[in-house]
A and B are shown apart, each in its own frame.
Chain A
Amino acid sequence: MRREGSPWQGLGTVLLKELTDHFDSARMVLLALLMVLAAAVPFYSAVEQLRTTTSEDPFLLLKLFNPGQTLSVMQILAFVLPVMAIGLGFDAVNGEHNRRTLSRILAQPIYRDALLAGKFLAAITVLAINLICLWLLVVGFGVYFLGVPPSGDEFTRSLVFLAVAIAYAGVWLGLAMLLSVLFRSPATAALLALGVWLFMTLLWPLIAPFIAQRIAPPDIRYLLLGLQDPQTFAWEQALTRISPDVLFQEAARTVLTPTTQSLGPLLDQIRQLRGEVIGAALPLRESLLIAWPQAVGLIAGAIVLFVATYVAFQRQEVRA
């Protein structure tokens, strides 16, 4: 049975209202402050570090995002973005339920699609605006402090990094919104979302190797030589990549560090055999190709979570 009328009716209205709400809310101010402050420290240390090596490095701007050794803006984002996304999404739907506004809003001539999509897009827009501001700050201050204009290549790479970061935030936003549909209490949804995030970020990278060794026990010959069994390693890598955090870090590192050749040891060996030089900078296209699967994984994760949210929301009873 087909329903009639556009699912997008009212989308713009919901989007605008949610945006206004976000920008007015104290939560938003707090999160933005958190992001800027958190990024300021690594940015400062990166500048300090770079001032000493200016003459040698062709990718100064990128080093601002990811200087390599110390805590970087990229790592901070990997940490702060999920918190922001969860903060914006954890009470999206159950909040409407608890305020008893849901049935009143859905009694207006709109479909549920518009409400859900509007909320998702508004939160993503807010995150994107924050990220763009951060990006402008880093690039602007970078030029100011270092006095070296960025090249077109660097510019593109940092913009790609921005896009990957937005996709990464989208995954956590999707998760938070899904939980906000499934659980009537915002506190439960928030705690669970943060729990999943901590598990994926801190525990999963520790657990994955154990599981990998169970699935593909390493060959004793490799162990005797002090090497890692490639098969075990392949499993380990595949398992850790379930975590959006790992995907984001891999993709971001590839894009921000042109010298990153590949994300697995096997490819490195093949390249070496083909006589390529390890350690040289890759052209942008090659870097993008390497980061592509990770980026697509993040986007797909966000979409899958949104679809799950959509299905759960459509089936949910409106009455409190």
Chain B
Amino acid sequence: MSEPVITARGLTKRYGEAVVVDTLDFDILKGETFGLLGPNGAGKTTTILMMLGLTEVSGGAVVVAGYDPVRQPLEVKRRVGYLPDLVGFYDHMTAVENLAYTARLMGLGHDVREVRIVDALARVRLTDVAHNRVATFSRGMRQRLGLAELIVKRAEIAILDEPTSGLDPQSTHEFLDMIGELKREGVTILITSHLLDQVQRLCDRVALFRSGKILVMGTVGELARQVLGAGFVVDVEAAAAPGKELAARLGAIAGVLNVQQTAEATYRLTADHDVRAEAARAVVAADGALTRLSVDNPSLDAIYTRFFEKQAATEGEIRDAA
């Protein structure tokens, strides 16, 4: 068990009467990739800004890399890299100049700076355009340049705010790969997003966040069990021999909670573990012709949608009861 690098206890942000972030408690462990997921306006960015000491904390406390961002923001910001959503650069300067400026602000010496910038630009595949003005860069290139800044900084903790919003699928894919590289190097990553399937690939743990509160937190599998009741969806496409009822046989497999016949010869099983082997055996036992068998990992998308549906339903009930 590694030690936590970000610890929030009762973290609260109020603007006048409005509570934007409501008594958050969470720990992010060293080397972990943590996803903070929630609709727009849930308070994700505000939480991040409090961690960086860029906005005042109204209540509670947060400790980042062993420092208090309220009193020691410079120490925190020396160790944490932040990629804001829709990151901006000075358009009239080249990629290298932009990085050199922030590197100087980081307090890096001339030699270190040069080496790190060249290295970082190579890693985000911007070497060819290193001396072009940023004005000519596409959205995806800017985003990668932002990542290069974190690489130059050698950040222990990388905070990425909606890093893939507005990117085309190709750029998104590339970008997520680069984040994966950072992760392999042992950088602790905090990523916020509302694009769930992308984040799912990367995150060790996720927290669903709404109206300033963390509603559930855990690994995707845990959340699936908690929210969906089961984690695995197995699709079976099989033509049953005449007279043999396949759905019933599939439903009899241990661990299968639900069987749905979605089309003429396709069945969708919901189970608490991977039941492909048993399903195949059941089809063969029924003299069926198995044409396709696949398992979906629990989808964060499904968890998310279901969770907020449930949430709305309970809120509705409470209102009705009252």
Contact B71 A1 (CB under 8 A): yes
Is B74 in contact with chain A by the CB < 8 A criterion? yes
Known contacts A104-B149, A317-B55; is-contact A5 B84 (Cβ 8 Å): no
Residues from 77 to 135 in A contacting B, C-beta threshold 8 Å: 99-101, 103-111
Number of A-B residue pairs at CB separation under 8 A: 88
Determine if B49 is an interface residue (Cβ-Cβ < 8 Å): yes
Interface contact A106-B71, CB-CB below 8 Å = no
A100-B84 in contact (CB<8A): yes
A105 touches B75 (CB 8 A): no
Tell me the A268-320 residues at the B interface (CB within 8 Å).
Answer: 317-320
Flag if A9 contacts B74 (CB, 8 Å).
Answer: yes
Known contacts A9-B107, A100-B87; A111 and B102 CB within 8 A of each other: no
What is the chain B residue whose CB lies nearest that of A316? B55
Residue B116, interface by CB 8 Å: no
Residues from chain A with a CB closer than 8 A to the CB of B70 are: 1, 3
B105, A5: Cβ atoms closer than 8 Å? no
Q: Flag whether A2 is at the interface (Cβ < 8 A).
A: yes
Alpha-carbon distance between A320 and B46 when the two chains are bound, in angstroms? 11
Chain B 56-83 interface 0/1 with A at a Cβ cutoff of 8 Å (1 = within): 0000000000000011111101101111
Q: Could you tell me the distance in whole angstroms from the C-beta of A24 to the nearest C-beta in chain B?
A: 7
Q: How many residues of A contact B (CB 8 A)?
A: 28
B104 to chain A, nearest CB (A): 4
Q: Taking the nearest CB of chain B, how far is it from the CB of A314, in angstroms?
A: 10
Binds A, one of B89-97, B120-128, B228-236, B250-258: B89-97
B104 touches which of A3, A13, A111, A320 (Cβ 8 Å): A13
In chain B, what residue has the closest Cβ to A102?
Answer: B88
Chain A positions 125-155 with a Cβ under 8 Å from a chain B Cβ: none
A109 to B69, CA, bound (A): 11
> Contact at B77–A100, with CB atoms within 8 Å?
no
- Cβ of A17 and Cβ of B72 under 8 Å apart? no
Residues of B within 8 A of A109 (CB): 73-75, 77-78, 105-107
Contact A4 B71 (CB under 8 A): yes
Output the least CB separation between B273 and chain A (Å). Answer: 43
- SS class of chain A's interface: helix, strand, loop or mixed? loop
Interface size range of chain B in the complex: 20 to 34
A10 within 8 A of B: yes
- Is residue B200 contacting chain A, with contact meaning CB distance below 8 A? no
Q: List CB contacts (< 8 Å) of B140-173 with chain A.
A: 146, 149
Q: A10-B105, A13-B104 are in contact. Are A3 and B84 (CB under 8 A)?
A: no
Residues of A within 8 A of B87 (CB): 100, 104
Q: State in angstroms the CA–CA spacing of A99 and B70 once bound together.
A: 26
- Asked if residues B89 and A101 are in contact (CB atoms below 8 Å), the reply is yes
B214 vs chain A, min Cβ distance (A): 20
- B88 pairs with A110, CB closer than 8 A: no
Query: Which B residues are CB-close (under 8 A) to A99?
Result: 88-91
Contact check, B74 vs A104: say whether CB atoms are below 8 A apart: no
A319 x B49 contact (CB < 8 A): yes
CB-defined contacts of A13 to chain B, threshold 8 Å: 101, 104-105
Q: Which residue of B lies closest to A7 (CB)?
A: B74
> Which residues of A are found within 8 Å of B80, using beta-carbon distances?
107
Given A10-B105, A318-B55, A24-B92 contact (CB < 8 Å) = yes
Q: How far is the CA of A68 from the CA of B77 in the complex (A)?
A: 57
B195 to chain A, nearest CB (A): 20
Interface contact A5-B72, CB-CB below 8 Å: yes
B299 in contact (CB, < 8 A): no
CB of B21 within 8 Å of the partner chain? no
CB of A318 within 8 A of CB of B106, answer no
List the 7 shortest-distance A-B pairs measured between CB atoms, nearest first.
A100-B88, A5-B74, A107-B82, A108-B105, A13-B104, A109-B77, A109-B78
Residues of B within 8 A of A (CB): 45-46, 49, 52, 54-55, 70-75, 77-78, 80-84, 86-92, 101-102, 104-107, 146, 149
A contact set with B: CB distance below 8 Å: 1-5, 9-10, 13-14, 17, 21, 24, 99-101, 103-111, 317-320
29 A-B pairs within 8 Å (CB atoms) are namely A1-B70, A3-B70, A4-B75, A5-B73, A5-B75, A9-B107, A10-B104, A13-B105, A21-B90, A101-B89, A103-B54, A103-B82, A104-B88, A104-B149, A105-B105, A107-B52, A107-B77, A107-B84, A108-B77, A109-B77, A109-B78, A109-B105, A109-B106, A109-B107, A110-B74, A110-B105, A318-B54, A319-B49, A319-B55
